[in-house]
Amino acid sequence: MNKSKHTEPLLSTQQAADLLGVSLRTVQLWVEKGALDAWKTPGGHRRVTQSSVERLLLKNQTQPVDNSVRILLAEDDELLKQLYSLQIESWGLPISLQSVTNGIAGLLKIGEWAPQILITDLQMPELDGFQMIRELKLSSRHENMKIIVVTALTDAEIATGGGLPDSVQLMRKPLLFSDLKDRLEKLLQELR
């Protein structure tokens, strides 16, 4: 964005983060991916347009008309992602499912769509599941989001990656889809 042509109110990245209820890093990622309009000052600081923050806030306030529970799937393996989608959608649960292939796309989609349940792998390109979960936990805005991690990593490998918060539900690969269905049905009951 060109500063000289800019006349609308601007916010610092910290002000944008406070308004959006996300971490400073999440705002920086959203700027880099184009979800928020911004430019850099000569000193290297970002300034975010107030209108782009308001636009993102409005998107987050929009709820699905059918009251379905929003589930976001973060999985970088395209075939596995398709298998998850086919299985989950075949169960006839009252859900709306979307998917992404990495943690950066996950944070962007969470900011835009506000899912109530996140199913994620830990090993993904660009921003892995560990980092994505840490970013989400920095904001109280996402404290009620249910997170299910599906991984082939051992407990030692998970600990090496920084561990997982106690609220995260862990499932192991290879995954039995019947176990995932049971877990989702319980979470759907909790969310209703």
pLDDT digit string, tens, across residues 145-186:
999 999 999 999 999 999 999 999 999 999 999 999 999 999
93 & 179 share domain? yes
19 & 51 share domain? yes
Q: How many residues in the chain? A: 192
78 & 111 share domain? yes
69 & 156 share domain? yes
23 & 70 share domain? no
Of residues 96 and 61, which shows the higher confidence score?
96
Q: How many domains does the chain have?
A: 2
Name the region of 149 (left: φ>0; alpha: ψ -120 to 50; beta: rest): beta
Report the distance separating Cα 83 and Cα 23, nearest Å. 32
165 & 82 share domain? yes
Residue numbers of the domain that contains 27:
3-60
CATH classification of the domain holding 55:
1.10.1660.10
10 & 80 share domain? no
Alpha helices in 8-128 (DSSP H): 13-20, 24-32, 50-61, 78-90, 103-113
Question: Looking at the predicted structure, is the pLDDT value of residue 4 above 80?
Answer: no
Question: Looking at the predicted structure, is the pLDDT value of residue 28 above 60?
Answer: yes
Q: What is the mean pLDDT of the chain?
A: 88
84 & 154 share domain? yes
Angle CA 31–36–40, to nearest 5 = 50
Of residues 122 and 45, which shows the higher confidence score?
122
145 & 69 share domain? yes
Please write the tens of the pLDDT for every residue from 92-146: 889 999 999 999 999 989 988 899 999 999 999 988 999 999 999 888 888 899 9
CATH classification of the domain holding 129:
3.40.50.2300
70 & 132 share domain? yes
Boundary-marking domain end, from 60, 76, 102:
60
Boundary-marking domain end, from 38, 60, 82:
60
172 & 108 share domain? yes
121 & 179 share domain? yes
Quote the pLDDT of residue 64. Answer: 45
Question: Looking at the predicted structure, is the pLDDT value of residue 44 above 90?
Answer: no
